[in-house]
């Protein structure tokens, strides 16, 4: 399950990669690739947070079920 935030970060990364592919100037290509890498890193961190959030919710549900 991904959050809206994760989807946004991934969308921004995809957009930056597309802009890099479409650019004719090397400095613009490089800039957009750096932006894409930064957005990818944010998306990865967000996916990790999403997983941790789900895992914690499952752990709490198990604890409550044992009570």
Tell me the average pLDDT across 57-67.
93
Q: What's the pLDDT tens digit per position in 13-56?
A: 999 999 999 999 999 999 999 999 999 999 999 999 999 999 99
Count CB-CB contacts under 10 A for residue 65. Answer: 7
Q: How confident is the model at residue 1 (pLDDT cuts 50, 70, 90)?
A: low
Cα first-last separation, the chain:
27
- Is 3 in a helix, a strand, or coil? coil
Predicted pLDDT of residue 65: 93
Predicted pLDDT of residue 3: 85
Cα separation of 65 and 58, whole Å?
10
């Amino acid at each position: 399950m991904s959050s809206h935030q994760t989807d946004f970060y991934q969308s921004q990364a995809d957009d930056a990669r597309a802009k890099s592919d479409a650019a004719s100037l090397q400095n613009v290509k490089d800039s957009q690739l750096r932006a894409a890498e930064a957005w990818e890193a944010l998306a990865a961190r967000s996916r990790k947070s999403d997983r941790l959030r789900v895992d914690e919710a499952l752990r709490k549900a198990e604890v409550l079920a044992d009570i």
